[in-house]
Amino acid sequence: MEQRKLLELLEEMSLEEKINQLFQGNGSFYEGGSIATGPASEQGFSEKTIREAGSVLSIVGAENIKKIQKAHMENHPHHIPLVFMADIINGYKTAFPIPLAQGAAFNPKVAKEGAEVAAKEASAAGIQVTFSPMLDLVRDARWGRVMESNGEDTYLNSVYAKALVEGYQGDDPKQPGKIGACVKHFAAYGAPVAGRDYNNVELSERTLRDDYLPAYEAAVKAGALLVMTSFNTLNRMPSSANKWLLRDILRGEMGFEGTVISDWAAIEEIRNHGVAKDRKEAAKLALLAGTDIDMMTTCYSNYLKELIESGELDEALLDEAVLRVLELKNKLGLFENPYKDADEEAEKKVLLCEEHRRKAKEAAKETFVLLENDGILPLKKEEKVAFIGPFTEEKAIIGAWSIFADEKDAVSVKEGVAAIGANAIFAKGCDSLEPGAVMPGMNFIYESSRTQTQAQMMLDEAVEAAQKADKVVLCIGEHMAQTGEAASRADITIPEGQKKLLREIARVNKNIAVVLFNGRPLDIREIKELAKAVLVVWMPGTEGGNAIAEVLYGETAPSGKLPMSFPYAVGQVPVFYNEFKTGRRMNPDQPENRFQSRYMDIPNEPLYSFGYGLSYTEFSYSGVKLSSGNLERNGKITASVTVKNIGSRKGAETVQLYIRDEEGSVVRPVRELRGFEKLWLDPGEEKEVSFTITENMLKFHDINMKYTAEPGRFTVFVGGNSRTLNQAEFCLTF
């Protein structure tokens, strides 16, 4: 539809119609193409509001959506279509590895291809917008939603942001098989105080701008259609009412022209924060700030008319919000094709198809991170291996936010190992949850009905299996429901029953390789002590079992690197590689010096730092070669290393470029990731890897809050993780 037609449509709409375009209701309000007034009326939503709503969330299925859309347009005074939105985080029916795992691939193509598959499946099921990507920078493993992020690094998140938006939307989101992307959660939702979900955020503006905002901006620049506000406060103002954040930064500085949507009931929660005295004032503050769509409250629908008619709000503010909603529908092509790609036959063809499963498996294999290996891996098929642990048969490995995927469609480790014909025996050993435990998940309640007597029998069977085996693969970790939204944890170790299983197996068989399932970095000191190998597989998705079997048995080598540091202990968090310099930085050569920035009882450093990961082979690095020792304004230099596979197997290495600003007008990080390249090398093969360094890579917000690069000395580090000491120095000169 031409823009002038949209403006004409806006002009023709009544005040109530315009207000209702800003309302988003839940799918439970609609059944079989008609409005279900029961649950809606119970929550205070009127039938008129629902009938004239602009969008709806969490309705899926082509047949169902087409019926609802048809009925909605017939009943709407101007026959304006709904937009159907849903949380498609790491896949629709075919679940890819969780986003944190995708970050471990250090390969944005993995994220882009996963988003393409998700868009193709979701669009066939009638979904037109996904509440993804989540681009919150995460540095506190206590927060359950770290599993939705790509990790602790600003640059890595920014690269992935662009790839994800391009994967969902392609060149044009109205094209078949594409859906609109909604960036979330704006802003800094990944830094809640104490790692507790829905808690507030305290950040300096410089930290916000240098570390947290760039990934959101990368997605905006990539053309994301929507941005979702975060639950938290920033500068002590709830994001949905934060005019500086939404109008000045998002729209003014980043140039975002799309639609801003609140998170679930976030506008009403402005009152809970104590910034608004009632829901009416919350509505006023949110619209003034620039929040266009009110998700699942009646703040807008019940109070905007009164606010406008009383003169407290200018109707022009309403018009600009409604126009953005209409423009969103136009960008999706809904005025010409209100059903977009919803197609029952396409659903049957593409959902969980062989091609999508293959891509999910290949993605999973790139995400696994080998933390330890004392020669026990890879396994040989002729070896007698006991696969023990709750995750040997577990299918709840698709990720907490895979709410439309079915666990029954996932491939377990047992199924994957059986498929490759290995000499293996299996014993569960224990449940992932303690006997009698109840764990609410995102859309299920998980419960262990096992008695203590039954649990002991399982443990005894596992010990017997371990005694018969040459090696043990112990499949342990977090239950899927222990990660994700509302899953903050103060104790980030594995459950006690699994610790007991580990200890008992180690008592009878020392040849243990742990396969760790997790949605966050964990405290794994005891695992490290008792196991000869540790392979982190995260929540690997639908094809997890097949991917794990192929990596364990050496059909391919693990190639992932940590996107988020694993703490030595929970007392360190938030812990991350690019911390700031301090006046009394810990000197390991002076352990007797009390007066340093240090813990008295644990190391300062995480157990495994960002960018770390082993392979089944080894790599050597030459020294860093710079094309010049001076970088001039608007110029460029290159940093090069030669990487060689000095082992006996083919493997992948992610070569990482870090830069440290040695002196700044404000304190600078000890180093920052500024580039990476993943390469596969045969035994004995070597390759030169070069990175281009420009002035733009050195910019930050200086003492005057100007985004600039300052002349001076810089150190370049190039290696296989964030602790590499392989370095060279150059000067930026103006």
Distance between CA atoms of 585 and 596, rounded to whole angstroms?
Answer: 6
pLDDT at 6: 97
Distance between CA atoms of 188 and 149, rounded to whole angstroms?
Answer: 12
Three state DSSP letters for 463-503: HHHHHHCCEEEEEEECCHHHCCCCCCCCCCCCCHHHHHHHH
pLDDT at 716: 98
Tokens of 183: 């960036």
What is the SS3 assignment for 252?
helix
Would you call 263 a catalytic residue per the annotation? yes
- Are 425 and 562 spatial neighbours (Cβ–Cβ below 8 Å)? no
pLDDT at 154: 98
- Of 652, 691, 514, which Cα lies nearest the Cα of 110? 652
- Of 184, 169, 223, which Cα lies nearest the Cα of 89? 184
pLDDT at 98: 98
Over the range 560-581, which residues count as b (16 or more CB within 10 Å of their CB) and which as e? bbbbbbbbbbbebbbbbbbeee
CA-to-CA separations, 576 to 53, 566, 606, 607, in angstroms, rounded: 44, 9, 8, 11
Tokens of 322: 């409604």
- Are 235 and 276 spatial neighbours (Cβ–Cβ below 8 Å)? no
Domain range annotation of the chain: 359-572, 619-733
- Domain 359-572: give its CATH code: 3.40.50.1700
pLDDT at 33: 45
pLDDT at 39: 58
Distance between CA atoms of 73 and 58, rounded to whole angstroms?
Answer: 19
The parts of the chain modelled with pLDDT lower than 70 are 31-43
- Are 134 and 185 spatial neighbours (Cβ–Cβ below 8 Å)? yes
Distance between CA atoms of 39 and 323, rounded to whole angstroms?
Answer: 29
This prediction has a pTM of 0.97
Answer whether CATH 2.40.50.140 is correct for domain 619-733.
no
The kind and range of the H/E element at 370 are: strand 369-373
- Of 194, 267, 199, 185, which Cα lies nearest the Cα of 227? 185
Which one is catalytic: 140, 263, 523, 661? 263
Find out whether the peptide bond into 78 is cis, omega within 30 degrees of 0: no
Strands 445-447 and 438-440: antiparallel
Does the fold of domain 619-733 match that of domain 359-572?
no
